[in-house]
A and B are shown apart, each in its own frame.
Chain A
Amino acid sequence: MRFEHPATFNPIDQLKVIGHPTSRIEGPLKTTGTAPYAYERHDVVANQAYGCVVGSAIGKGRIAAIDLEAAKAAPGVLAIVTAENAGKLGKGERNAAPLLGGPEIAHYHQAVAIAVASTFEQARAAVQLIRIDYAKGDSKFDLAAVLDTAGTPNPSFGGPADTDIGDFATAFAVAPVQLDATYTTPDQGHAMMEPHASIAAWDGDKLTVWTSNQMIAWGVEDLAKTLGIPKENVRLISPYIGGGFGGKLFLRADVLLAALGARAAGRPVKVALQRPLMFNNTTHRPATIQRIRIGAERDGKITAIGHESWSGNVIGGEPEMAVSQTRLLYAGANRMTATRLAALDLPEGNAMRAPGEASGMMALEIAVDELADKLGIDPVALRITNDTQVDPEHPERHFSQRQLVQCLNEGAARFGWNKRNPKPGQVRDGRWLIGMGVAAAFRNNLVTKSAARVRLDQQGRVTVETDMTDIGTGSYTIIAQTAAEMMGVPLEKVVVRLGDSDFPVSCGSGGQWGGNNSTAGVYAACVKLREAIAQKLGINSEEAVFADGVVRTGNRNVPLAQAAGGGDLVAEDAIEYGDLAKTYQQSTFGAHFVEVGVDADTAEIRVRRMLAVCAAGRILNPKAARSQVIGAMTMGVGAALMEDLVVDKRHGLFITHDLAAYEVPVHADIPHQDMVFLDETDPMSSPMKAKGVAELGICGVAAAVANAVYNATGVRVREYPITLDKLLAQMPEPV
């Protein structure tokens, strides 16, 4: 099905099932521990052996010598695979650094070997016996030190490296009020609960991998390419995923090494990346240095806005596209952005929840707060003053929906924003200095092809199959809701099967595109199934009403199951998109409000209240969507206050590489959270009229926290995370 014209009334608009806060249909499996995750698939294949991964001990250089003798002789060891004996390997389309290093080492903890043994303990003991001598090479580990060497990249997503509209330099120079500030964001890790884990089994030249991956088709393609085997010989199965946040978008070392280990050992092999290895071995959100300049009239109207960002990556890696939201968020005739990329020998940077947008909004939304302060204008009002209903670079291009102003106003009213004292450092509650902060949330909606297969059987059951994944987001549930709505059956009559490369290729989970596109694909397949059913029953599908388990035309009611009387009816289709995403800017909006307390003595920062108001198209399942947003708000608090992959610039690694050193919020950090969706349907996005929410939720949160800290203390911190040591020196003397 091609989606080329704005959606009109369709069966989804009945909202009998869609739009309801249905609890996750796979929830009971998860809460009872019976949803099997990749590493627990003891049932799927016999005789599983265990693999343990060795990560490089240096950041850059080469392996001079490797001695496997002791490890090979260790109890239970079945095989040891290194680059030397792995055979010729290719590299996945979406991997920059090779997943199995050696002799060249691209980054710290790059996998260099896997030991396979009969038990996990034997494999873990064996890796300690592998002796590797390294020769360190020339290296660059410090982004700030290599800024001069940064070049102009050719990004594969997120827009061009340079944009230039009007005359930024002049407009900024003559602006009566100017802001020019530099912000930094650190490297961040996904730190999902379930580590990267896989079981690989060969059957002749056919390979099956039970794994934890967000994008099945990408994984198949890149695994086949890396191993140099046909795609058809690879099957990936990933029905349950314990969090990904972008860290599982791509083929990673667990999959490859399990496959190589299994080939070498002649047995199925399971591998989970050890937690302390994950942060340097896999991808991360790259650090940025961002300079923002804004020029404004005294009434707050922005006349010039410029945003430059620098990040680093391994050769072949992408820049962090931190400036892209600045191109669209606020009005202003003169504008520029620039993205620069430096070569660094740190682990590979890649997507993490709202890649680019989250980092960019962390800086931009502090800058707007600073500007408001300079102007003496309320930061909510300043944002409203500079709202735009069109793409500021291409004024003929409208937003399909843009309710930023409504989000800000609704949020301000609900949060009690009018109680905020604009003068910082004035409000106290016992030992706490209290402050409020606001930031806009803004993330684009991405449309991409997604396919599904639906089957009607003689029991009147509808089974949906698609390689879409559920990374804890609720895909199972919204897909079931879509099929139930389309086929006129109750939810209990729908079976959803996901995450298997034998199923039609979906959009996968990433970039907050999963919900809208995967359900639109199911919609397309259901339209086809409705036609097949109508044809079978000899009725006109245009006139048929699918409801309550029957197909109705005029006063004729036929049970749905009857259509499958002669055998299952199967339909497969994909949603594909025309130009609506080009003719309209499709985006999601929100406003984050945060109240913090800062201990007047110790400068400890504790969030007290949070509110997000979001407008993100049709909300397919308000419960699942709300969970996504409050989860994203929590992650935003982590970004604001603690998450920091600290670079050791001498050894070239993230030294905070376990969950003790890489702090993420705990329950005690997250107080009262509230979130509200504004009513919205977006007919430009898809027949579902939905958009994404999961990444919108994190965009702007950290800046709202930062702005609240400033309002509480009068101390402006421009280097994330905002920790007490950065406040202390400027804190008011204790009384």
Chain B
Amino acid sequence: MRSFSYERAASPGAAAAAAASTANAKFIAGGTNLLDLMKLEIETPAHLIDVNDLALDRIEETADGGLRIGALVRNTELAADARVRRDYGVLSRALLAGASGQLRNKATTAGNLLQRTRCPYFYDTNLPCNKRKPGSGCAAIGGFGRQHAVVGASEACIATHPSDMAVAMRVLDAVVETVRPDGTTRSIPIAELHRLPGDSPEIETVLQPGELITAVVLPRPVGGTQAYRKVRDRASYAFALVSVAAIVQPDGTGRVALGGVAHKPWRVEAADAELPRGAKAVTARLLGDAKPTKDNAYKLPLAERTLAAVLRDPRA
């Protein structure tokens, strides 16, 4: 771990301004991802801005009947919130499928969205990785790729986004609210927050330098039966091989997003329209452009079968 300086920001605007004015600064929230990466010198910030005091830890109702989730709301608290459990079951389920109780107590809403990939080559600083060291190559391509992306990947990077929560947020059409170093705010639809790797896998979101997430807004509840199904080798404490977030209405229409298949939560609106025709039709649209490797080709039938199971019995 490199030495770094540290400050506690007093307001969201001040945090963003400080991040822009200090070289190589990073926000720290729960620290459950950032500190691990710093110990391995995968992240080497020179300055940390602690955002835990920013009073962004509330869940409030919005004027149009939705929920505004503060960026610092802990995963445990969010999963347990009565309104979330009642109206956004997919989110509560996704959160509880992630990490462990101890980690969820620390992990924050913003930190969870911005957690970095679990590609094992990203974690070994001896090996080439375009995300960690732009231009060095991608060791995962041609290597151990069982966990990697089947769709939306590039020749520079085939990593997946590991978050469960983000997949649920995607199917709920959440909107991310931010404040920028100049004090202006903006709202970013979750669909646009994460980028595909393209030629610059090191740039993972559309956030600008110093831009701070202040909240995530859920639109008013859409009802339906909400399911999150996470498939993994061991029963707990493992990242998804494939996950399915689905909201199915009584008339058979609904929405689907997949985790574990791409560099971002994967949803294709045109695929939602296929829902009444069943899992095969939906996955054909969702993963039609998939380019799997020998190691991860199983994710295609797995996604389809998992979706079929969810549609058959969303409560299982």
Listed in ascending order, the chain A residues whose CB lies under 8 Å from chain B are 57-58, 121, 124-125, 128, 276, 430-431, 599, 601-604, 606, 641-642, 646, 648, 650-651, 653, 655-658, 660-661, 663, 665-669, 721, 723-725, 728-729, 734
Q: A195 to chain B: closest CB distance in Å? A: 14
Q: B93 to chain A: closest CB distance in Å? A: 16
Q: B235 to chain A: closest CB distance in Å? A: 4
Is B123 within 8 A of A601, CB to CB?
no
Is A128 within 8 A of B305, CB to CB?
no
Q: Does B124 contact A (CB under 8 A)?
A: yes
Q: Mark B223-234, 1 if CB is under 8 A from A, else 0.
A: 000000001111
Across the interface, A724 reaches (CB within 8 A) one of B235, B236, B302, B316, namely B302
Q: Does B133 contact A (CB under 8 A)?
A: no
Q: B118 to chain A: closest CB distance in Å? A: 6
Whether A734 touches B237, Cβ cut-off 8 Å, given contacts A125-B1, A125-B3, A646-B144, is: no
Q: How many angstroms from the CA of A725 to the CA of B295 in the assembled complex?
A: 9
Is B302 within 8 A of A728, CB to CB?
yes
Is A734 within 8 A of B308, CB to CB?
yes
Nearest CB to that of A280 among chain B residues?
Answer: B124
Is B233 within 8 A of A125, CB to CB?
no
Taking residues whose C-beta sits less than 8 angstroms from the other chain, chain B's interface range is 35 or more
Is B305 within 8 A of A602, CB to CB?
yes
Q: B244 to chain A: closest CB distance in Å? A: 10
Is B233 within 8 A of A641, CB to CB?
yes
Is A650 within 8 A of B124, CB to CB?
no
Chain B residues 257 to 316 lying within 8 A of chain A, measured CB to CB, are: 298, 301-302, 305-306, 308-309, 312-313, 316
Judged by DSSP, the binding face of A is loop
Nearest CB to that of B305 among chain A residues?
Answer: A601
Nearest CB to that of A430 among chain B residues?
Answer: B316
Q: B287 to chain A: closest CB distance in Å? A: 15
Nearest CB to that of A55 among chain B residues?
Answer: B126
Most buried by A among B2, B41, B305, B313: B305
Q: Does B10 contact A (CB under 8 A)?
A: no
Q: Does B146 contact A (CB under 8 A)?
A: yes
Can you list 6 A-B pairs with a CB-CB distance of less than 8 A?
A431-B309, A602-B305, A666-B234, A724-B233, A724-B241, A725-B298
Is A723 within 8 A of B237, CB to CB?
no
Q: Does B217 contact A (CB under 8 A)?
A: no
Q: How many angstroms from the CA of A663 to the CA of B146 in the assembled complex?
A: 14
Is A601 within 8 A of B306, CB to CB?
yes
Q: Does B250 contact A (CB under 8 A)?
A: no
Nearest 5 A-B pairs (CB), nearest first? A668-B235, A57-B126, A725-B298, A601-B309, A668-B236
A431 cross-chain contacts in B, Cβ below 8 A = 309, 313, 316
Is A724 within 8 A of B139, CB to CB?
no
Is B118 within 8 A of A655, CB to CB?
no
Listed in ascending order, the chain B residues whose CB lies under 8 Å from chain A are 1-3, 39-41, 118, 120-121, 123-124, 126-127, 139, 142-144, 146, 231-239, 241, 298, 301-302, 305-306, 308-309, 312-313, 316
Nearest CB to that of A722 among chain B residues?
Answer: B233
Q: B149 to chain A: closest CB distance in Å? A: 15
Q: How many angstroms from the CA of A217 to the CA of B67 in the assembled complex?
A: 65
Most buried by B among A58, A431, A661: A661
Is B142 within 8 A of A668, CB to CB?
no
14 other contacts beyond A128-B2, A655-B144, with CB at 8 A cut-off?
A: A125-B1, A276-B40, A431-B313, A641-B233, A646-B144, A651-B143, A656-B144, A658-B123, A666-B234, A667-B236, A668-B237, A669-B236, A724-B231, A724-B298
Q: How many angstroms from the CA of A94 to the CA of B314 in the assembled complex?
A: 56
Is A642 within 8 A of B144, CB to CB?
no
Is A725 within 8 A of B146, CB to CB?
yes
Most buried by B among A601, A603, A653: A601
Across the interface, A602 reaches (CB within 8 A) one of B142, B146, B306, namely B306
A728 cross-chain contacts in B, Cβ below 8 A = 298, 301-302, 305
B3 cross-chain contacts in A, Cβ below 8 A = 125
Q: How many angstroms from the CA of A128 to the CA of B41 in the assembled complex?
A: 8
Is A276 within 8 A of B124, CB to CB?
yes
A599 cross-chain contacts in B, Cβ below 8 A = 309
Nearest CB to that of B147 among chain A residues?
Answer: A661
Q: How many angstroms from the CA of A348 to the CA of B309 in the assembled complex?
A: 44
Q: How many angstroms from the CA of A650 to the CA of B145 in the assembled complex?
A: 13
Nearest CB to that of B297 among chain A residues?
Answer: A725
Is B306 within 8 A of A651, CB to CB?
no
Q: How many angstroms from the CA of A650 to the CA of B121 in the assembled complex?
A: 13
Is A669 within 8 A of B234, CB to CB?
yes
Is B298 within 8 A of A125, CB to CB?
no
Nearest CB to that of A637 among chain B residues?
Answer: B234
Q: B133 to chain A: closest CB distance in Å? A: 13
Is A125 within 8 A of B301, CB to CB?
no
Is B118 within 8 A of A660, CB to CB?
yes
Q: How many angstroms from the CA of A5 to the CA of B291 in the assembled complex?
A: 69
Q: How many angstroms from the CA of A667 to the CA of B127 in the assembled complex?
A: 33
B127 cross-chain contacts in A, Cβ below 8 A = 651
Q: How many angstroms from the CA of A724 to the CA of B235 in the assembled complex?
A: 13
B302 cross-chain contacts in A, Cβ below 8 A = 602-603, 724-725, 728
Nearest CB to that of A124 among chain B residues?
Answer: B1
Across the interface, B235 reaches (CB within 8 A) one of A276, A651, A669, namely A669
Most buried by A among B1, B233, B236, B238: B233
Q: How many angstroms from the CA of A666 to the CA of B238 in the assembled complex?
A: 10
B118 cross-chain contacts in A, Cβ below 8 A = 660-661
Is B231 within 8 A of A666, CB to CB?
no
Q: How many angstroms from the CA of A648 to the CA of B298 in the assembled complex?
A: 20
Is A604 within 8 A of B301, CB to CB?
no
Most buried by A among B2, B126, B308: B126
Q: B303 to chain A: closest CB distance in Å? A: 10
Whether A651 touches B139, Cβ cut-off 8 Å, given contacts A666-B236, A724-B231, A734-B309, is: yes
A669 cross-chain contacts in B, Cβ below 8 A = 234-236
Whether A604 touches B231, Cβ cut-off 8 Å, given contacts A124-B39, A125-B1, A666-B237, is: yes
Q: A267 to chain B: closest CB distance in Å? A: 23
